Amino acid sequence: MKRTILILMIFAFVSCSKESSVSILGEWMTAELVYDSDLGRDTVNMVGANEFYRFRDDNTLYITNGVDEVNAHYIIRDNELLSFSIGSFDTNRMEIIELTRERLSIYKKMPEFTDTRLYINLIRN
């Protein structure tokens, strides 16, 4: 559950690509997580982990790993994806690095973890 919440936080900051005809709407599967810090870089292959993000046109975001599900609302402004849960004071900010018809890459700086940067790479499901 903690991992799902962390990923939700990351997705909260997706930014739009220059290609305006490409939409974030739909279901995406987590393909890879990349943790980058002053201590090094670690890549986790997530294919087969059954972790999915569903962006809906009513600005709701559903994240599931097949067991746990997190529901949130999202807003895309410039190149940022902001996500939040109703009743929560926390807003997650992420930067969209790449958005194509088949690939979504987002970035979140995580200073609470020794200046760790998290990159989430998703593929269209």
pLDDT digits (tens, 9 = 90+) for 75-90: 999 899 999 887 777 8
**Inter-residue contact 52 to 63 (CB < 8 Å):** yes
Of 20, 13, 35, the residue nearest 116 (C-alpha): 35
| pLDDT exceeds 70 at position 116 | yes
Please give the pLDDT value at position 41.
94
The 10s digit of each residue's pLDDT in 49-78 is 999 999 999 999 999 988 888 899 999 998
Structure tokens that stand for 84 in this block: 């939040």
Whole-angstrom CA distances from 41 to 72, 108, 119 are 29, 15, 11
Section 2-31 average pLDDT: 64
Structural domains of the chain, with CATH: 2-124 (2.40.128.280)
Q: What phi and psi values does residue 31 have, to the nearest 5 degrees?
A: -100, -30
The whole-model pTM stands at: 0.77
